[in-house]
Structure 1
Amino acid sequence: MCRNIKTLFNFDPHATDDEIQAAARQFVRKLTGFNEPSKANEEAFNHAIQEVAAVAKNLLDSLVTNAEPRNREVEIERARARSAKRFGVAEE
């Protein structure tokens, strides 16, 4: 599950609220072991996602770096190359 959490710091443009929310959801899923919570746990699950997203946004907003911002397209291509090397190229 956590493999889906992507690095969100030092990109231009900055990480969106949706990206932060998705990472928070994956983190809470990993912690709880739930893909989707039961009705009894739904409120606590969703509250945890909101709390984690708020903390993550605060963290990302407070970090500083002298490094050049990363390019999303370049990072996507690097990830594809790593995947192709690891798993082979899929036939289309």
Structure 2
Amino acid sequence: MCRNIRVLHNFEPPATEDEIRAAAVQYVRKVSGSTHPSAANQEAFDLAVEAVAEATRVLLESLVTKAPPRDREVEAAKAKERAAARYGTS
């Protein structure tokens, strides 16, 4: 999985359209192997991003969980701690 794609499920407030679209763009970039498609491929790239974003919306709306919603700030702090331990930064 691409490291830039973040978990979007079970957050309060729910994932925004911008977060869903950013994840879709990252996915399409990874699969296509291109961060900036050529003019000839731009339409296909854009259509793929929209399709992935829609599939992501449907998925997130369909998922159910009994776990309490996560807090973005708490999760960001945990990620910072993991990065500091992994890379030896403070």
TM-score after normalising by structure 1 = 0.95
Residue by residue, what CA displacement relative to the aligned partner does 1:34-78 show, whole Å, maximum 9, x if unpaired? 011000000000000000000000000010011000000000000
Aligned equivalents of 1:53, 1:10: Cα separation in 2: 17
1:49 corresponding residue in structure 2: 49
- Paired residues for 1:68-79 under 5 Å: 68-79=68-79
- The aligned residue for residue 66 of structure 2 is 66
Gaps of 5+ in 2: none
* CA deviation string 1:2-53 (max 9, x = no partner): 1000000000000000000000000000000001100000000000000000
Structure 1 stretches of at least 4 aligned residues deviating more than 3 Å after TM superposition: none
Paired residues in the alignment total 90
Matches within 5 A, 1:9-88: 9-88=9-88
Higher helix fraction (1 or 2): 1
% identical aligned pairs: 56
Q: Give me the CA root mean square deviation.
A: 1.1
Q: CA deviation at 1:88?
A: 1.3
